Amino acid sequence: MNALDREAILAGLSSAITGSMGGLTVLQRVDSTNSFLLDLPPGEQHAHVVVADEQTGGRGRRQRQWHSPPGGNVYFSLGWRFKGGAPAALPLVAAVGLCRALDDIGLAGHGIKWPNDVLLGERKLAGILVEAQSAGSGPLCAVIGIGLNVDMPQQGADLIDRPWTDLKEHLGDGLPERNRIVAALADQLMSAMAGLMAGGLQPFHADWSRRDLLAGRQVAVEGAGQVVAGRANGIDAEGALRIDRPDGRPLIINSGEVSVHYG
């Protein structure tokens, strides 16, 4: 698998993005690209992309570990400062940006499992962890971390205990080199964050809904020690998940772990 290379990534960026990028850091090995960005001086975080070949302490959502072996995947973080704090819809808009980047590299058939898992054929292809930190007395800087399975090394395949897939399985010989994938991610994520700042979730709502893998499916949502079952019915204007319960009463879910009932 080709090495991550700063110059090659820069060469693949669209000119509009190159001009507004706050920084690009390419690392061989790091504990977590999200932590690296959060530890940067506040003035260096905004629009800064950090990418690594390996993470020794990769973090996933819900306090899970994100196994991050070297030599095949992409571990990517982008810092973004929002006046007045990170919008609640940020994780959903990040998922749209990620899916658009995957479209750009020629992938088809991927979709989003609320709020922001990217799956292909019911198996996880990429995950997103959004973290935020107060930048002193200034506005909040959010870090959008993406783990994308590109060509999963055996070491990772042996460790992951949930159904997963990688780009290699679907693109075969058409798999672009990792630097091109990172450039596509940087382009689409930065453009999505700029769009979110300008117009909120609304300009992304239709695209998110088009990619919604849960719509119409029977699901169970676990959160705050409770499990609620019903039929997923898309997202509301704020990005919360709408569930129709068996008795017809609607329910709005702001956070939780969703599982799908098959069959």
Q: By C-beta, is 61 or 242 nearer to ligand BTN?
A: 61
Query: CB-based contacts of 125: which residues, under 8 Å, 6+ apart?
Result: 102, 110, 118, 119, 148, 149, 164, 165, 166, 167
Backbone angles phi, psi at 138, to 5 degrees: -85, -170
Cα–Cα distance, 4 to 240 (Å, whole number):
36
For residue 1, give both structure tokens: 């698998």
* Minimum gap (Å) between residue 214 Cβ and ligand BTN: 16
Backbone angles phi, psi at 96, to 5 degrees: -65, -45
Binds ligand BTN (CB under 6 A): choice among 12, 24, 33, 86? 33
Binding range to ligand BTN, per CB under 6 A, among 13-21, 61-69, 84-92, 220-228? 61-69
Q: Which residue in the shown chain puts its C-beta closest to ligand BTN? A: 127
Q: By C-beta, is 86 or 129 nearer to ligand BTN?
A: 129
Tell me 164's DSSP state.
Answer: B
Cα–Cα distance, 17 to 191 (Å, whole number):
8
Cα–Cα distance, 80 to 86 (Å, whole number):
9
Decide if 147 contacts 75 (C-beta within 8 A): yes
Binds ligand BTN (CB under 6 A): choice among 4, 47, 48, 66? 66
87: preceding bond cis by omega (within 30 degrees):
no
Q: By C-beta, is 160 or 251 nearer to ligand BTN?
A: 160
For residue 151, give both structure tokens: 């060509």
Binding mask 101-140 for ligand BTN (x = CB under 6 A): ----------------x---------xxx-----------
Binding range to ligand BTN, per CB under 6 A, among 38-46, 60-68, 200-208, 252-260? 60-68
- How many residues does this entry show for the chain? 263
Residues 74-93 that bind ligand BTN (CB under 6 A): 75-77
Cα–Cα distance, 171 to 190 (Å, whole number):
25
Q: By C-beta, is 129 or 230 nearer to ligand BTN?
A: 129
Task: Please tell me whether residue 153 binds ligand BTN under the rule CB under 6 A.
Answer: no
The contact set with ligand BTN (CB under 6 A) reads 32-34, 55, 58-61, 64, 66, 75-77, 117, 127-129, 145-147
